[in-house]
Amino acid sequence: MGKPGDKLKKVRLTTPVSAEAIAKLEIGSVVTLDGCIYTGREGVYKRILDDGTTPPVDLAALSNVNFHCSPAAAVRDDGSYRVGAVTATASFRFAKWLPRWFEVSGARVIIGKGGMSAEDYKNIFVPAGAVYLTTVGYGTGALLGRGIKHVKAAHWLDDLGIAQAMWVFEVENFGPFLVESDLQGNSLFEQANAQIATGLKALYAGTRPAILSRYGETDERSDELI
C-alpha cells in the first residue's frame, strides 16, 4: 500500500494549453507546466481594464496562462533580473476583473492561491472555457522558483513595482499545482469544505457563543468568509 497522496493523478501540460487538454483536467490532479506564463494581478488588471491602457504585448500570442503571483525578484546592476522564490497570491480578490480579462487576454488557465467561489467558476470561468489551478501548500516558493528557466520580460516594472509588474517567464516542469476547478465548474476546495462541514457541529459541542456578539457575524460554520 502506498502512502496517502501517492495515487493522485499527474498531468504535464504545455502552453498554450489546448482546449482539449483543459477539457480533460479533473479536479484534484497534480499539474506541472512547460512553456510560457505571465503574471498579472490588481495592478495589471486596473491598468488594462479600468484605465484602458493597451497591454504591453500581444497576450493571446504569448500564453494563455495567467499566474496571480509576485516573485521575490531583484534587478541586477546590469539591468538583468534575478528571481529567487515564486509564490501565488490569493485570487478571490480579483474576481471582478476576470470576465473582461478572459475576453481581452485570451487566458484560459488561471494559477493562484486559494481559488475562487463555485459561483465565479459557474458564471465566469465555465463560459470562458477556463480552469483554475492552485499552487500547493502555498509556500512552495523555492520549488516554483526552480521551474523558472528564464525571465523574458518584466513589463511596467518602473510604474508598478516588483510585486505588481507583469513578469513573463519561460518555465520547465513548473509546479506542482492542483486542479481546483474543471470545465463543469466543480471546485476541489468546495468539495473539501462540504466534507469537513459534516463534522463541525460535533466539534463545537461544549463551546458556547461569545457573550458579546459582533455585527455581520455568521454563526454558520459551513459558510466561507471570502
Partner 1 sequence: MIAIDIIQRAAEDLMAKAAIEIPDDYLAGVEDMANTERGDLSAFVLRAMLENYVAAKEDRRAMCADTGVPRWYVKIGNDARMEGGPVALESTLRRATAKATHDVPLRPNRVHPLWRTDHNNNVGINAPEIEYSFEPDANWIDVTAVHKGGLFGTDYRMLFPGDGVEGIKRFFLDTLVAFGKRGLACQPAIVGIGLGGSKDTCMTLGKQAACLRVVGNRNPDPKIAALEEELKELGNSIGMGAMGFVGSSMVVDCHIEAGYTHTGGMPMSVHCFCLSSRRAVARIHADGRVETRTDPQWFTPYMRRETVEWESPETSLKKSG
Site residues, partner 1 (CB under 8 A)? 3-5, 7-8, 28, 30, 69-74, 82, 84-87, 89-90, 114-115, 134, 136-146, 161-163, 176, 178, 188-189, 192-193, 195-196, 199-200, 203-204, 206-212, 214, 221, 224-226
HSE (side-chain half, CA atoms, 13 Å) at 151: 22
Please state, in angstroms and rounded to a whole number, the distance separating the CA atoms of residues 64 and 108.
5
Characterize the bridge pairing of strands 166-181 and 65-67: unpaired
Nearer to ligand SF4 among residue 136 and residue 153 (C-beta): 136
Q: Residues near 32 by Cβ (< 8 Å), separated by ≥ 6?
A: 10, 11, 12, 13, 147, 173, 174, 175, 176, 177
Pick one of partner 1, ligand SF4, none as the site partner of residue 185 (Cβ within 5 to 8 A by kind): none
Give the nearest distance from C-beta 121 to ligand SF4 in angstroms: 23
| Cα distance between residue 107 and residue 58, in whole Å | 12
Q: Which is nearer to partner 1, 61 or 202 (CB)?
A: 202
If one asks whether residue 91 binds ligand SF4 (CB under 6 A), the answer comes out as no
Cis bond before residue 209 (omega within 30° of 0) = no
User: Based on CB atoms, which residue is closest to ligand SF4, 127 or 139?
Assistant: 139
Chosen residue from 84, 127, 129, 139 binding ligand SF4 by CB under 6 A:
139
Name which of 60 and 226 has its Cβ closer to partner 1: 226
Q: Which does 104 bind (CB under 5 to 8 A by kind): partner 1, ligand SF4, none?
A: none
Compute the distance between CA of residue 217 and CA of residue 88 in angstroms, rounded to an integer. 29
**82: partner contacted, choices ligand SF4, partner 1, none (Cβ within 5-8 A by kind):** partner 1
Q: How many other C-beta atoms can be found within 10 angstroms of the C-beta atom of residue 122?
A: 15
Which residues contact ligand SF4 by CB under 6 A? 87, 138-139
